[in-house]
Structure 1
């Protein structure tokens, strides 16, 4: 069904009232949350000066954006009364500010406590020695030579990269277990606050959730800007945005894992740390496949009836939606069971759990045939369904490469994971855009599925390029200290 732009409700995007304030609000918020906040997170504990500058720029852009938004709300008419973007924006900004305050105090406390050094290299080198020793035992005495790692500088480079990751965790543990008073700034009161275990956990939780919260604020802001997801359409919008957002961040996490992130917690593709190393941390870190399965299971369990909340009569489309969530719940649960210690006894073996990829493959195949009311909607569903299938095939190719290739003690980077990450991020983006209100808006503007997918692919390429840049800055930061 085609919807003319003139038939849609009035929205901020087609309003001519004080648009300069809104454009300034959008620009500054995107600068804050897309550029400054990721840089601040990645440079944390690696380049304290760079992280501090990124946090300052974030606060500058974020406060400027809030001021511009307040000015626009005062001067322009409210075309979306009762929206959730305004309170969500305040909450997200407060969460970010709280994390920045706690991280700055912690970095000062860490510097004062250890004469400006961020970690005890001797202790960390011992831990990483276990990691490398485990690789030698697994692959034989000549495994490093087979991969050309005959120079000790390679080991030191790997150890230095992982030392910085474990250094941050070791400093958190030290602050949690031994609160103390220090001379100068921060004061003894700040040291006691940072020594509180609960406060440290709060800082880590804020650090892990601030980007997803910012993403939710951006998505809700775009919905308000275009005037979509009103009334009963809110449930369809929520379902598509939650599902698409999960796949979007799943893809970003997959690409970060390819770039070498999270190797210190056992998420390297070819080898996991030794058993003793895992238990020397603040608890046992689950495998990447267990985490993937848990997210899939949690989504399936919590969103069974989300898209049916706007209707009273059950249709075949509702049954399709429910069946998908049941598939996610069952597939994720089975994946977690296969990753449990009583099923998978060898925790140091390369990843080989097919359930996350199989679940997403089935979802992609089914959504490619999902009944839709318009040609544009059907085409978009077919596109992101195909992309999810592409992820599953790329992940299968990764497992095949791991089992056919020689295993190195150094974190591996299967090139197939680049394809998998791209398919996930683009598939998640198109999934969000395939909501009914989004499709009607695109149809009203005369957009075709090819145009939407081409623009989305370009945007995803830029996002992944920025992610690689930020992680590269983090790695350069570790080499310069």
Structure 2
């Protein structure tokens, strides 16, 4: 509802009925408020919520972590996931059988079955992959290339054994090429020497981290040694492991990133694996992790269905708040996971990627942010007029929203251009040409140290401007304006803190493979997630319902959002810590088994 004039302090039911139909009853009112209902079954709905939440937010993340660590309990987690889903679906079906349909056209169940179909497809692919590994293992044993043992058969079934043409070694790509020498082995400009010395002193005091990295290096060497033993001949060993030449600095240390680039088996395995298989593995891992966010999507549609909101003329505004706020919420959690160390293996955790060549992922985290912003803007520009009669004039509210969408569109495009290595090379071409023309040296100019990290301000700019604009968004009621100001300020705070992160990281670009963990990002992720949750809670129907029931209290809304965000951050911390514990345990187990 767009209201032109001063915002009102009291709820005007007559004005609401001019724009919207009366609010129909819902499952919630049927279970708890309707005195004419003889018997309700909210317990069945509660059981459905508990079972499905446990499946998607406890068992599924644990299963993903178990897969990453090649743990033997991964299969048990898959069985537990489907068992919980089956029980949850059964309780939901029984509830709907005993309760009249209170929401015509609900999509919660259909979307849920679609999500389970995706999960089943991933499980099927995983099963075929396991059968393929077993077939190749049996073939290798029969050909005399490997010795049969129950232990090796079990590890092959789990995927924790190095195969003849796999693209990663047994320790997983997270640990390939980890180093323990001070990060000054990475090329630095002379002006970075002071920062490097300070970093060396810090690393010297961090004995625990050094011991952990030493374990990673030792594990890498052990798997490289075992991989060479599995080859049929010394000639094949040379072909697979020694095709690269050592770097000019290889005589300094066997543990430098440059040496590992020349001798790492993972590098040569990747060269021999077809591109479609590498893309398939990345797609599989991405979709598997996206299932957790699909679960959150089901939480939102379930709340919508049970409370009876987002119907009739409310639907467009409701969907806009839930979808956009949900994106901010989810990316706030992802940003906090990055702060904790997730995605450090591709250099997305404000670190140097632990890869043989020391290069980060083909795309930066900022590129992904800009891509999401661009896709949102280019689609939402045309969606703002959904449900509007053809030929009707543009309202000021529509122009406001379209303007924000266009900002997302082109700011995201500019951000992707800045992150493109080819475009950056084009922008540097005039300077390189002038340097080569006026310099007697045949070498190209060395890049500054800041090139080791991405300092793209456009994602933060877009979110910050969105927050500032929505803080001034006109609303029909003062309470609605207050809620918009709250989440608008939270998004603006994220932008300020992200810029501070870039400022401090620009002063000292990352030189270590360990996660950088800038404290400003911990705060930024919290403000982004909390702002996204407040964005969802500012839906018109929710604020009107709060005013009707005497809960129009902005502090209550903010405290609920803060409390739930803190709870979600504890969940993220638990998931990341559980995966790290599994990895550390796998390292110790492999080291002890190899030494014995």
For normalisation by structure 1, the TM-score amounts to: 0.84
Given candidates 431, 439, 442, the residue that maps to 2:543 is 439
Mean Cα displacement is larger for which, 118-127 or 240-249? 118-127
How far off its partner does 1:300 sit?
A: 0.6
1:147 maps to 202
2:480 maps to 377
CA distance in 1, matches of 2:550, 2:218: 53
1:8 maps to 23
2:524 maps to 420
CA distance in 2, matches of 1:164, 1:291: 32
Given that 2:180 and 2:210 are in contact with CA atoms closer than 8 Å, whether structure 1 keeps it comes out as no
Mean Cα displacement is larger for which, 304-313 or 142-151? 142-151
CA distance in 2, matches of 1:255, 1:452: 22
> Using a 3 Å threshold, how does the CA distance of structure 1 residues 124 and 94 change in structure 2: closer, same or farther?
closer
CA distance in 1, matches of 2:178, 2:561: 41
Given that 1:271 and 1:348 are in contact with CA atoms closer than 8 Å, whether structure 2 keeps it comes out as no
Given that 2:350 and 2:510 are in contact with CA atoms closer than 8 Å, whether structure 1 keeps it comes out as no
Given that 1:307 and 1:318 are in contact with CA atoms closer than 8 Å, whether structure 2 keeps it comes out as yes
How far off its partner does 1:373 sit?
A: 1.4
The residue matched to 2:452 in structure 1 has which SS? coil
How far off its partner does 1:94 sit?
A: 1.9
1:124-163 to 2 correspondences below 5 Å = 127-129=177-179, 136-138=186-188, 142=197, 144-149=199-204, 154-155=209-210, 157-158=212-213
Greater Rg over alpha carbons, structure: 2
1:41 is the counterpart of 2:64: yes
CA distance in 2, matches of 1:328, 1:449: 29
> Using a 3 Å threshold, how does the CA distance of structure 1 residues 115 and 237 change in structure 2: closer, same or farther?
closer
CA distance in 1, matches of 2:199, 2:331: 32
2:556 maps to 451
Deviations 1:161-218 (A, max 9, x none): 79999x9xx99x9799779xxxxxxxxxxxxxxx977865663343142122222111
Given that 2:497 and 2:521 are in contact with CA atoms closer than 8 Å, whether structure 1 keeps it comes out as yes
Given that 1:125 and 1:159 are in contact with CA atoms closer than 8 Å, whether structure 2 keeps it comes out as no
CA distance in 1, matches of 2:317, 2:463: 20
How far off its partner does 1:46 sit?
A: 1.1
Given that 1:176 and 1:196 are in contact with CA atoms closer than 8 Å, whether structure 2 keeps it comes out as no
CA distance in 1, matches of 2:467, 2:159: 54
CA distance in 1, matches of 2:216, 2:346: 13
1:30-429 to 2 correspondences below 5 Å = 30-46=53-69, 48-103=71-126, 106=129, 109=133, 111-112=155-156, 116-117=160-161, 119-120=169-170, 127-129=177-179, 136-138=186-188, 142=197, 144-149=199-204, 154-155=209-210, 157-158=212-213, 200=281, 203-272=284-353, 276-278=357-359, 285-312=362-389, 313=392, 314-345=394-425, 348-405=451-508, 407-409=510-512, 410-429=514-533
How far off its partner does 1:135 sit?
A: 5.2
> Using a 3 Å threshold, how does the CA distance of structure 1 residues 20 and 331 change in structure 2: closer, same or farther?
same
How far off its partner does 1:273 sit?
A: 5.8
Mean Cα displacement is larger for which, 307-316 or 339-348? 339-348
User: Structure 2: which 5+ runs fail to align?
Assistant: 1-10, 17-21, 32-39, 135-154, 163-168, 224-264, 426-446, 587-596
Given that 2:176 and 2:355 are in contact with CA atoms closer than 8 Å, whether structure 1 keeps it comes out as no
CA distance in 2, matches of 1:478, 1:83: 42
CA RMSD of aligned residues (A): 3.6
How far off its partner does 1:445 sit?
A: 2.9
1:18 maps to 41
Given that 2:340 and 2:515 are in contact with CA atoms closer than 8 Å, whether structure 1 keeps it comes out as no
User: Structure 1: which 5+ runs fail to align?
Assistant: 180-194
CA distance in 1, matches of 2:457, 2:475: 30
The residue matched to 2:515 in structure 1 has which SS? coil
> Using a 3 Å threshold, how does the CA distance of structure 1 residues 161 and 55 change in structure 2: closer, same or farther?
farther
CA distance in 2, matches of 1:80, 1:122: 47
Given candidates 579, 582, 593, the residue that maps to 1:474 is 579
CA distance in 1, matches of 2:64, 2:12: 44
How far off its partner does 1:291 sit?
A: 0.9
CA distance in 2, matches of 1:46, 1:222: 35
Given that 2:498 and 2:521 are in contact with CA atoms closer than 8 Å, whether structure 1 keeps it comes out as yes
How far off its partner does 1:101 sit?
A: 4.2
> Using a 3 Å threshold, how does the CA distance of structure 1 residues 382 and 135 change in structure 2: closer, same or farther?
farther
How far off its partner does 1:320 sit?
A: 0.6
Deviations 1:1-49 (A, max 9, x none): 3569xx6311001113322222211221122222222222233221523
CA distance in 1, matches of 2:218, 2:288: 20
CA distance in 1, matches of 2:576, 2:219: 13
Deviations 1:309-334 (A, max 9, x none): 13334211111111111111111111
The residue matched to 2:455 in structure 1 has which SS? coil
